[in-house]
Amino acid sequence: MGELRTISQSEEPFWDRAEAGRILAGELCGLSGSRPVVLGIPRCGVMVASEIARILGADLDVVVARKLCEPGNPDIPIGAINEDGKLFLARESPVLTGLCEGYENTEEDLEKQYTMIAWSIEKYRGIRPRVPLAGRTVIITDDGLSSGMAMQAALWTVREEKPEKLIAAVPVASMEGIERISDFADETVVLKTPPVFYDVGQFYEYFDKTTDEQVIAALKESMERSIVM
């Protein structure tokens, strides 16, 4: 397990994702001189990531990955597909050998995930070319962790690119979510781990739906800021 840093058990909600990102950036300020890469999990995580990237002077990007779950059991993630279309399973999974062959034969499930990845690439990569991650400090964020499945898939995917340090940082998380991801990040930072957790929206006053237009605007703004710097 990597280092786990939780700040409080407060149940007080954030106003919105931007505020959550600003507060989270304060806990990551020691990284500002290293110019890290901040990856948001689309779509909502990008709103948190954009604030972190702005404050830390970091590169902003999205992590395009689709989680794969055990056939017949959507609550058990076993791997992910990255944006290059590479399929891989967690080496730590005790069911790796038995499920690998099964997944290769589940063409309908895989095709659905590939289609979603292609859609994301078409939407976002025309705005923000992929940032190389090898040898970089990489922060992956979302607006919160409930089950932690999306973050787990993102961590698996990014680890394949051999970053120097991989950090999972979120405003709020359930204990289930933390337990799911903490083995796969070098460091996990969580602002709030409330004892009563129903869903992420519980901890935001303003929990609106994030649109593709908002994600694209955030990526454009970050690119323009990088040019100026």
How many percent of the chain have pLDDT more than 90?
Answer: 62
pTM across the whole model: 0.89
Task: Give domain limits for the chain.
Answer: 3-64+130-228, 67-122
- Beta strand 187-192 with 165-172 is parallel
The second-level CATH assignment, the architecture, of 3-64+130-228 is 3-Layer(aba) Sandwich (3.40)
**Burial tier of 187 (Cβ tally within 10 Å: 0-12, 13-18, 19+):** middle
Q: How confident is the model at residue 68 (pLDDT cuts 50, 70, 90)?
A: confident
CB 130 within 8 A of CB 161: no
How many percent of the chain have pLDDT more than 70?
Answer: 90
CB 50 within 8 A of CB 225: no
14-31 pLDDT, tens digit per residue, is 999 999 999 999 999 999
Q: How far is CA 109 from CA 67, 70, 74, 114, 208, in A?
A: 11, 11, 12, 9, 29
Cα 144 from Cα 48, distance rounded (Å): 10
- Please report the pLDDT score of residue 111 as a whole number: 80
Has residue 107 got a pLDDT over 80? Answer: no
- Please report the pLDDT score of residue 91 as a whole number: 53
